[in-house]
């Protein structure tokens, strides 16, 4: 139905989208995971209560979470240029993606870790576990299934954000959809990109759910 | 360490919580000594402060006031690291077992050893040893969700014993179990106490648990210790109202019978009561009315009390009381309901 060049372009777009999504997710977890852990640990009821710190961190997270992604994309352009040297292409898109996704991931991680039974934490404390041991040996492993579900949500959300970066020539499937579907009225190409995006989301989501269920020993 | 030095000593301990309307004392002026090697029970109604007290013993909760000595050391003096270390000598088990759900049984028992920095091989060996002691060797690789409540509590006991603690704290450890399983778990605890010499502190709201295995008991009522003593003593002759309420809860239903004399007979294990009452009725050829009877089997001896209504005749009544006293029973006259 399309020329081979179109397929090649779509294939490239697919790879670019996956690249942006996966790299951004990994980097965003690098920031968001510690933030989420910090939120739980320093909570009033946490194992290392620090109410002021908790309040400030929560505020920062909320602040970033409330900025719409398209606006954030433009707001951080100077930061992007400073880090990557350019504001277009996949690498440039990773910067705003990470900045937008990290606080979102922090909240996902926070809610997963809060599901861990207080009694189990208390048991670990009664054995003389330090806060760090509780984080690495109790909180994270016990919340694993929920963290994996969270990761599936995070990765699919980041994918859809990455498609929005098409508006600023961010590369990937979103970029193609906007260039052909919006600027040139080639809706068939746009439709194919949408189908591809839907498929990736399905696959990632399903894989995440299965992985979570497989590793869950509570059933 | 000398044997009569208490392993746990609590002095003037209070714990305040920030409640909705100001400070609220969950514990007030608690003084307790728990001897090495005993099974010590702490009983009280819901909300009396039992869990808070037991959490103060390993400093999961820091007392607002007062001191806790463990094995002669003042816990308030310890650094965080030292406190972590000392907690390894204080095992704890809970009502809800609190096992790690994502680890199998072996992993759970290895957990405190991992925390203590014991090498993996050694930890596994020790864990297997403990699992065989609690009779769960065949469940080594099962996950907690695949076990019954009683089995989960056994795993928790094995886990709590992994680091060779001197004391085992049990907070309502049998409250989620059925009576038969409760008995099994209590027997296991008794064996552990006897064979390993581990001091056991049992928190419960059930009399049965205390009767079954404790040597001494403290009654906690509205944030304070109401009474402490041997189980025998406290359960046969409770002194305080709080203790009486716990030991003889049915008493409230005994109605006052005007004009008739009632007396309470206390059985302290020296005799069984049926023949005595029957004998008395035969000897005096006068009926007595049994208003209330409650006996318990403590350590194989009969304990309990009975409230009987004596005949109207003053002389017969006092002679009957003499008769009972002569049989080594504690007899006291009570008015109305007791
Ligand atoms: N962290 C806390 N903050 C505020 N109040 C608390 C806290 N922990 C306990 N309390 C209060 O202290 C009192 C004693 O609680 P505790 O849990 O020690 O009772 P308990 O005797 O163990 O009762 P139960 O048999 O129901 O377990 C209760 O009124 C409870 O609400
Ligand atoms: Mg309690």
Opening angle at CA A129, ends A132 and B28, nearest 5: 120
Distance spanning both ends of chain B, measured CA to CA: 45
CATH architecture assignment, domain B258-334 = 2-Layer Sandwich (3.30)
Is 80 exceeded by the pLDDT of residue B301? no
Secondary structure element (H or E) that encloses residue A105, with its range: helix A90-114
Enumerate the CATH 3.40.50.300 domain ranges in chain B, comma separated: 8-247
> Is the torsion defined by CA of B303, B304, B306, B307 positive or negative?
positive
Picking from B273, B265, B269, B247, the residue whose alpha carbon sits closest to that of residue B43 is B247
What pLDDT is stored for residue B258 in this prediction?
54
Q: Which of B58, B102, B115 sits opposite A142 (nearest CB)?
A: B102
Contacts of residue B48, defined as CB under 8 A and 6 or more positions apart, other chains included, come to: B220, B221, B222, B223
Chain A residues closer than 8 Å to B170 by CB: none
What pLDDT is stored for residue B325 in this prediction?
85
Burial letters B40-73, b for 16+ CB under 10 A, else e: bbbbbeeebbbbbbbbbbbbbbebbebebbbbee
Query: Between A170 and B172, where is the model more confident?
Result: B172
Q: Which of A105-114, B248-257, B274-283 shows the lowest mean pLDDT across its residues?
A: B248-257
> Closest ligand 1 atom, CA of B17?
4
CATH at residue A210: 1.10.3720.10
Per residue in B234-254, pLDDT tens? 988 888 888 888 777 665 544
Q: How far apart are CA B240 and CA A177, in angstroms?
A: 82
- Whole-model pTM? 0.84
The closest residue, in CA terms, to atom 28 on ligand 1 is: B47
B89, burial (CB in 10 Å: exposed 0-12, middle 13-18, buried 19+): middle
Mean pLDDT of A200-213: 94
- Cβ–Cβ under 8 Å, residues B336 and B256: yes
Q: E-strand spans in chain A? A: none
What pLDDT is stored for residue B238 in this prediction?
86
Is 60 exceeded by the pLDDT of residue B3? no
Burial letters B222-241, b for 16+ CB under 10 A, else e: ebbbbbbbebbebbbbbeee
Q: How far apart are CA B21 and CA A51, in angstroms?
A: 21
Q: Is B238 in the pocket of ligand 1 (CB under 6 A)?
A: no
Query: Between B220 and B320, where is the model more confident?
Result: B220
B59, B100, B142, B175: best to mutate for the A interface, most A CBs within 10 A: B100
Q: What mean pLDDT, rounded, does chain B reach?
A: 89
Q: Which of A79-93, B126-140, B313-327 shows the lowest mean pLDDT across its residues?
A: B313-327
What pLDDT is stored for residue B2 in this prediction?
46
Q: How far apart are CA A92 and CA B280, in angstroms?
A: 101
Distance spanning both ends of chain A, measured CA to CA: 48
Q: Which of A128, A144, A217 sits opposite B88 (nearest CB)?
A: A128
Q: Is B43 in the pocket of ligand 1 (CB under 6 A)?
A: no
| Cβ contacts from A onto B, under 8 A | 78
Is 70 exceeded by the pLDDT of residue B256? no
Enumerate the CATH 3.30.70.260 domain ranges in chain B, comma separated: 258-334
Chain B residues closer than 8 Å to A217 by CB: 101-104, 143-145
DSSP characters over B178-193: -HHHHHHHHHHHHHHH
- Cβ–Cβ under 8 Å, residues B154 and B160: no
What pLDDT is stored for residue B249 in this prediction?
67
Per residue in B28-63, pLDDT tens? 999 999 999 999 999 998 999 999 999 999 999 999
Burial letters A146-182, b for 16+ CB under 10 A, else e: bbbbbbbbbbbbbbebbbbbbebebbbbbbbbbbbbe
What pLDDT is stored for residue B251 in this prediction?
52
What pLDDT is stored for residue B272 in this prediction?
59
- In angstroms, the separation between the Cα of residue B139 and the nearest Cα of chain A is 15
Chain A residues closer than 8 Å to B70 by CB: none
What pLDDT is stored for residue B338 in this prediction?
40
Report the half-sphere exposure of B331 (CA within 13 A, side-chain side): 22
The token duo for B280 is: 């008395």
Q: State the ipTM, two decimals.
A: 0.91
**Strand duo B301-310 + B261-268: pairing:** antiparallel
Number of domains in chain A: 1
Domain that holds residue A87: 4-215
Greatest mean pLDDT range, A87-96, A157-166, B87-96, B300-309: B87-96
Q: How far apart are CA A166 and CA A69, in angstroms?
A: 12
Query: Between B14 and A182, where is the model more confident?
Result: B14
Q: What mean pLDDT, rounded, does chain A reach?
A: 94
Q: How far apart are CA A178 and CA A166, in angstroms?
A: 6
CA of B155 to the centre of ligand 1 (A): 26
- Cβ–Cβ under 8 Å, residues B95 and B173: yes
Q: Which of B84, B94, B143 sits opposite A119 (nearest CB)?
A: B94
Q: Which fold has domain B8-247?
A: Rossmann fold (3.40.50)
């Amino acid at each position: 139905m399309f020329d081979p060049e179109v397929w090649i372009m779509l294939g490239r777009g697919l790879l670019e989208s996956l690249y942006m999504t996966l790299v951004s997710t990994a980097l965003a977890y690098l920031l968001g995971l510690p933030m989420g852990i910090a939120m739980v640990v320093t909570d009033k009821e946490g194992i290392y209560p620090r109410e002021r710190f908790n309040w400030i961190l929560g505020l920062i997270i909320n602040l970033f979470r409330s900025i719409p992604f398209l606006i954030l994309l433009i707001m951080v352009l100077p930061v992007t240029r400073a880090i990557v040297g350019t504001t277009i292409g996949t690498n440039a898109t990773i910067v705003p993606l990470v900045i937008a996704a990290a606080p979102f991931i922090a909240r996902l991680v926070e809610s997963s870790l809060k599901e861990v039974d207080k009694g189990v934490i208390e048991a670990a404390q009664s054995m003389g576990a330090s806060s760090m041991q509780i984080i690495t040996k109790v909180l994270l492993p016990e919340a694993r299934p929920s963290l994996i579900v969270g990761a599936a949500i995070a990765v699919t959300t980041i994918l859809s954000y990455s498609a929005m970066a098409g508006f600023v020539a961010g590369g990937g499937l979103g970029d193609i959809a906007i260039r052909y579907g919006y600027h040139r009225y080639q809706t068939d190409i746009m439709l194919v990109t949408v189908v591809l995006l839907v498929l990736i989301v399905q696959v990632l989501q399903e894989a995440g759910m299965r992985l979570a269920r497989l590793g869950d020993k509570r059933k | 360490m000398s044997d009569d030095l208490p392993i746990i000593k609590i002095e003037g301990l209070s714990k305040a919580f920030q409640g909705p309307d100001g400070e609220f004392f969950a514990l007030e002026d608690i003084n307790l000594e728990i001897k090495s090697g005993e099974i010590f029970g702490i009983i009280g109604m819901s909300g009396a402060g039992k869990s808070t007290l037991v959490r103060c013993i390993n400093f999961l909760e820091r007392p607002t006031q007062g001191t806790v000595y463990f094995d002669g050391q003042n816990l308030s003096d310890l650094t965080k690291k030292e406190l972590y270390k000392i907690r390894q000598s204080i095992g704890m088990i809970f009502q809800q077992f609190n096992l790690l759900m994502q680890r199998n049984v072996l992993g759970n028992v290895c957990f405190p050893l991992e925390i203590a920095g014991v090498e993996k091989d050694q930890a596994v060996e020790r864990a297997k040893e403990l699992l065989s002691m609690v009779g769960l060797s065949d469940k080594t690789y099962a996950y907690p969700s695949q076990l019954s409540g009683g089995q989960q509590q056994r795993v928790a006991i094995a886990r709590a014993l992994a680091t060779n603690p001197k004391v085992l704290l049990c907070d309502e450890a049998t409250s989620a179990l059925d009576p038969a399983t409760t008995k099994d778990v209590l027997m296991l605890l008794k064996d552990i106490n006897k064979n390993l010499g581990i001091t056991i502190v049992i928190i419960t709201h059930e009399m049965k648990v205390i009767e079954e295995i404790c040597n001494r008991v403290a009654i906690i009522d509205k944030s304070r210790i109401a009474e402490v003593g041997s189980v025998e003593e406290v359960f046969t002759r409770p002194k305080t109202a709080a203790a009486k309420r716990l030991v003889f809860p049915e008493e409230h239903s005994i109605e006052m019978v005007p004009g008739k004399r009632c007396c309470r007979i206390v059985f302290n294990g020296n005799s069984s009561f049926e023949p005595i009452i029957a004998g008395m009725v035969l000897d005096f050829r006068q009926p007595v009315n049994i208003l209330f009877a409650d006996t318990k089997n403590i350590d194989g001896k009969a304990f309990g009390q009975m409230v009987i209504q004596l005949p109207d005749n003053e002389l017969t009544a006092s002679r009957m009381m003499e008769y009972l006293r002569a049989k080594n029973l504690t007899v006291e006259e009570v008015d109305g309901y007791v």
